[in-house]
Amino acid sequence: MTSTEATEPLSRARRRPVEPLLPEGEARASANVCQAAGCLSMQSDLVFEALRERVVAAGLGDVAVRRVGCLGLCAAGPLVEVPERGRLFDHVHADDQAAMDALVATLAGGEPGGRETSKEPFFSHQVKVVLERCGRVDPERVEDYLATGGYQALTQAVATMSPEEVITEVARSGLRGRGGAGYPTGLKWATVAKATSAEGKYVVCNADEGDPGAFMDRSVLESCPQQVLEGMAIAGYAVGAHNAYVYVRAEYPLAVKRLNSAIRQAEREGLLGSRVAGTDFEFHVEVRIGAGAFVCGEETALLASIQGERGTPRPRPPYPASRGLWGRPTLINNVETFANVPAIVQRGGDWYSSIGSAKSKGTKVFALAGAVVNTGLIEVPMGLTLRQIVFDIGGGLAGGKNFKAVQTGGPSGGCLPEALLDMPIDYESLAQAGSHMGSGGMIVMDEATCMVDVAKFFMDFCREESCGKCVPCRAGTVQVHRLLEKITRGRGTREDLALLEDLAGMMRSMSLCGLGQGAPNPVFSTLRYFRDEYLAHVDDHVCPAGACEMDGGDR
């Protein structure tokens, strides 16, 4: 097979007329209207319709109005970007004539309105690999993805590279699992590639994102599902798998819809399915929808759920790489991990490893949430400090309040205090500080937050989400939550505090899966950095932050 044959589907896609929206490069200016869940919830679909009418009415024939994915600054939606003029319009509503006028004027080449993105650290401090096309392409049109170089990596891999070469490239990139644990992706791929199975292997994409405050995977799937599919297909080629599943939680209906449409379109283009890019490589992707269990983000529980069984984890080993879906070798990676792959294959592992810090390569997508000014979706090189994220990109604390802590890593992560703000964000530093990278949720807390209450919140979450299989997690989360409840009501004693630490230590060592083992982390990290707050509750029966309602009186 020659490489011209392999790229043939691409050129065919490019020839397809894309009326009435002019493709990138052909329009003099374009208005990218965010259609991801955040902006859509504020009726950005109406903004798109209204703006298109205005553009037509103004006779701007060389202007494109596009539906795109997440533009990042979710706090200020609905968002419209005019990339050619470097402008972002926030809080745009369909019936806001002034905003519409400013947009049309900017598109027509007049005095530009809106915010100048190059001058705002929120945009200028970011490095986009995973989110490269988010906010640039229409998530429901494969043509847009192809027009921005999409599927070239897959075509290149299947046509010109051996599976071993693909794995070498991924290993050289230093990419580590973005789901949280940070396992080297190249090593995982090599393990699955080496596993032999007469009945085939599987690739599974973990899109069961469930950490409170986390929306990275949702945004990627809603904004550029093709990039994830391309990464999965490259993985399938590398490890020798022909079937794949994307396991998405049911709470993400828009992501599911766009993913399904993306799969159909990619199959239509011959980029997924029986003959990928015209080669003998076969790769079929199906979507599986979760039933609302957080624990199904744990890989063995996720696989059980795909098989139609009760979603509970099982002890490892055997790891999915040797015995996964229906007992066959299975490669399971997170959405963001797969979304990194096309760029790595195309630009090389060395390019990727030039971004980031010594042991944590590349970029990381974070869902910046909580008490910062600029809440939203960001992608930064590894090694950036927490301070740069919270104060430069995040714009500091909202309402002029003082910073107290930043929580990373979801319910199994930790709360980091002000003293650690200059710590670089990488897997090792975060783990050393008692938190972990996690999937990328980052919740900023201000001075009005009580850290004991935060620990209680996360323990409540784990208590609700414990599957109930192993005793330490099932009953331990309930007991720890009760102790925290007691302390936040001013009824706790020093003995309760000791018992709390003891129970938390037992849960960490004895639980079956990561949910139970990680559940005490918010307790440990708040005890480590904010013990005085616990003591104030216990000894003085006061909540220093003023967040907890004390029962007072008798204990």
Residues that bind other proteins (CB under 8 A): 293, 295, 310, 314-315, 463-472, 474-479, 482, 499, 502-503, 506, 509-512
| Minimum CB–partner distance for residue 333 and other proteins (Å) | 23
Q: Which is nearer to other proteins, 314 or 528 (CB)?
A: 314
| Minimum CB–partner distance for residue 459 and other proteins (Å) | 12
| Minimum CB–partner distance for residue 479 and other proteins (Å) | 5
Distance CA 477, CA 457 (A): 12
Q: Which is nearer to other proteins, 28 or 474 (CB)?
A: 474
Q: Which is nearer to other proteins, 33 or 512 (CB)?
A: 512
Residue 401: which of 441, 445, 455 has the closest Cα?
Answer: 445
| Minimum CB–partner distance for residue 542 and other proteins (Å) | 24
Q: Which is nearer to other proteins, 115 or 491 (CB)?
A: 491
Cβ-based burial of 374 (10 A; exposed 0-12, middle 13-18, buried ≥19): buried
| Minimum CB–partner distance for residue 417 and other proteins (Å) | 26
Q: What's the Cα-to-Cα distance from 463 to each of 284, 301, 515, 516, 533, rounded to whole Å?
A: 37, 17, 10, 9, 23
| Minimum CB–partner distance for residue 463 and other proteins (Å) | 6
Distance CA 210, CA 217 (A): 10
| Minimum CB–partner distance for residue 540 and other proteins (Å) | 23
Q: Which is nearer to other proteins, 315 or 399 (CB)?
A: 315
Q: Which is nearer to other proteins, 208 or 392 (CB)?
A: 208
Residue 143: which of 72, 205, 64, 74 has the closest Cα?
Answer: 64
| Minimum CB–partner distance for residue 405 and other proteins (Å) | 27
Q: Which is nearer to other proteins, 13 or 459 (CB)?
A: 459
230 with 150: CB under 8 angstroms? yes
CA terminus-to-terminus distance, the chain = 79
254 with 222: CB under 8 angstroms? yes
Cβ-based burial of 517 (10 A; exposed 0-12, middle 13-18, buried ≥19): middle
Residue 178: CB partners within 8 Å, gap ≥ 6?
A: 333, 334, 335, 336, 337, 340, 364, 365, 439, 440
23 with 5: CB under 8 angstroms? no
Q: Cα-Cα-Cα-Cα dihedral of 56, 58, 61, 64, to 10°? A: -70
192 with 201: CB under 8 angstroms? yes
Residue 324: which of 239, 202, 208, 234 has the closest Cα?
Answer: 202
Evaluate the CA torsion angle 21, 22, 25, 31 in order and state its sign: negative
Q: Which is nearer to other proteins, 434 or 472 (CB)?
A: 472
Q: Which is nearer to other proteins, 8 or 485 (CB)?
A: 485
The side-by-side arrangement of strands in the sheet containing 80-82 is: 63-68, 29-34, 80-82, 87-89, 115-116
Q: Is 477 helix (H, G, I), strand (E, B) or coil?
A: helix
Q: Which is nearer to other proteins, 53 or 502 (CB)?
A: 502
